[in-house]
Copies of this chain bind each other. A is one copy, B any other.
């Protein structure tokens, strides 16, 4: 995230406490934001605000910046809790917060950061902003619930429609729909109704692209562990496509591995599955599906932005969106 936005985020958080334990607590609140996320969602929000005429120098820009800070705080408290829920080992190149300080402390840090997010929404003072954050949290939590329930029940009898509903709820709202809408609201405009359909399609494309990169990306560019999603047992469109057509023996090996906790998975079997997936054509299928979603989303978004006050900024926003759906990292 851009340095001035990080400063804004940190300005809301305590730098130290009245006693050593509370100074530690303050450091934990600042930890994830300081690990340097890409700031994808806040950039989209700010690009949308500019397209709607609320660029730097306008009185509305300050509100847009506070909403952008709130969106980053959202991302960070959610990641703290997600990392516990998935028992992730690392986040942005360092151990996940609960691996450093234990689950109880990390849950509590996430809760406090959640409240600081609302402080940023409040500071923005943008009419309709609070409702937008409420919708965003509810949709994201519902998507997360689908994902967690499927993991818990070891549920793999899922189709394309199930996957799509999950990623729309879990990823598309907070990654695209809500940033687009918040940018309009910050400018005092009514968000175009097409932002929702456009954002759901683009958000799904974004997530499927991420799933593709996780299996077939360039390890250097991608940054995360290639195949990590297999070890975590993530439901992806690729795996669900493949499962629908895989030979029985391969399916058996896959389901056997997916019944195991991460630590008990067999590296050789996972490597086999990875190879089967690469050879099956399911990755290309998923990429084709993502490309179609991205095209439809971009077409809708182009329509929706046709009358936006700042057409230069609108083109930048479209370019940014296109880049996210086709990215290499």
A interface residues, Cβ below 8 angstroms from B: 17, 19, 21-22, 24-25, 78, 81, 84-86, 102-105, 107-112, 114-115, 118-119, 122, 130-131, 133-134, 137-138, 141-142, 144-146, 148-149, 151-152, 165
| Total copies of this chain within the assembly | 2
Residues of the B chain whose Cβ atoms lie less than 8 Å from the Cβ of A111: 78, 81, 110, 114, 137, 141
A148–B104 touching, CB < 8 Å: yes
Q: How far is the CA of A142 from the CA of B118 in the complex (A)?
A: 17
B142–A17 touching, CB < 8 Å: yes
Q: How far is the CA of A22 from the CA of B141 in the complex (A)?
A: 10
Can you list 11 A-B pairs with a CB-CB distance of less than 8 A?
Answer: A19-B146, A21-B146, A22-B146, A25-B141, A84-B103, A85-B108, A104-B152, A108-B141, A112-B137, A112-B141, A114-B114
Q: Please give the distance in Å from A9's CB to the nearest CB on chain B.
A: 16
Residues of the B chain whose Cβ atoms lie less than 8 Å from the Cβ of A115: 133-134, 137-138, 141
**Which residue in B21, B138, B142 is a CB contact (below 8 Å) of A145?**
B21
Q: How far is the CA of A119 from the CA of B132 in the complex (A)?
A: 11
Residues of the B chain whose Cβ atoms lie less than 8 Å from the Cβ of A103: 84-85, 103
Q: Please give the distance in Å from A90's CB to the nearest CB on chain B.
A: 18
Residues of the B chain whose Cβ atoms lie less than 8 Å from the Cβ of A142: 17, 22, 25, 112
